[in-house]
Amino acid sequence: MRKYDVILSLGDTCAPASTLRAQSKNRASYPFDWLLTKHGPLPYFKSILSEIHPFNSSVVLERRIDEETDKASETYWYEDKENGIGYRHEFYKHIPYAEMRELCIQKYKRRMKRLSQHLEKAKNVCFIMYSYTHDSEIEHYKHEIEKKYDLTIDLMYTDNQTLQECVSDITLTYNRSFIINISKTIYRALAKVVPFRALRKKLRRKGKIHRL
């Protein structure tokens, strides 16, 4: 089984991200997990290199009308036609478009920052893509990203028949700093619970634990 510090889904649907989540192989939510692409993952490679998500304040979105899908879903479907990117899971019907758009811009800024931070600490990375063929432009941007972050990237091309098997064949490495960060997150969540808060104060007075 191949081990990676980061496993990143690059479309063209949310199937790779969904499969990674189902098998507990997604370290975090990343910028391209739930997007749809028409023209391949090249905009994502450019985005990783520039650290700027395609969904920003200048992007023009058009709503895609699909009565059957809209009726069954709690979100509307919007498209960035310039980059060929679809936002199928973002715009909730009960939240005004302008408000939801701003929330999404901020969300993707956070996810881009998170991805950059994880890549800075990584050595071995896997980009998993659904139903794509390799081309020279992707290879060029792959090498540029490797140079920028001083890491090695494996490109994994998969499809509906091989996706489950491919994801089963890879796993995440778990380094000490990552485990510590997870521990801090759990600790801070528990700290909001009243019984745990009282226990924590008692243990601190006895010198058994320290502030995280």
pLDDT tens readout for residues 11-66: 888 999 999 999 989 889 999 999 998 888 999 999 999 999 999 889 999 998 87
**153-184 residue pLDDT tens:** 999 999 888 999 999 999 999 754 555 455 55
Same domain, 44 and 66: yes
Same domain, 41 and 99: yes
pLDDT attached to residue 209: 45
**107-120 residue pLDDT tens:** 999 999 999 999 99
pLDDT attached to residue 211: 45
Domain that holds residue 120: 2-173
Same domain, 7 and 52: yes
DSSP labels, the chain = -EEESEEEE--SSSHHHHHHHHTT--SS--TTTTEEESS-SHHHHHHHHHT--SSSTT---EEEP-HHHHHH-SEEEEEETTTTEEEEEEEETTS-HHHHHHHHHHHHHHHHHHHHHHHHH-SEEEEEEES----HHHHHHHHHHHHHHT-EEEEEEE-TTTHHHHHHTEEE---HHHHHHHHHHHHHHHTTSHHHHHHHHHHHHTTS----
pLDDT attached to residue 196: 58
**132-146 residue pLDDT tens:** 667 889 999 999 999
**Which of 123, 152, 164 is CA-nearest to residue 22?**
164
Same domain, 196 and 140: no
Long-range contact pairs involving 75-82 (C-beta distance under 8 Å, separation at least 24):
80/54, 80/55
Same domain, 127 and 185: no
Same domain, 92 and 179: no
Residue 69 has pLDDT above 70, yes or no: yes
Quick check: 78 and 91 in contact, CB under 8 A? yes
Same domain, 112 and 194: no
Same domain, 120 and 201: no
Same domain, 68 and 93: yes
Same domain, 54 and 142: yes
Same domain, 9 and 21: yes
Q: How far apart are CA 4 and CA 22, in angstroms?
A: 17
Mean pLDDT, rounded, of the chain: 85
Same domain, 180 and 151: no
pTM of model > 0.85: no
Q: How many domains does the chain have?
A: 2
pLDDT attached to residue 174: 74
Residue 189 has pLDDT above 80, yes or no: no
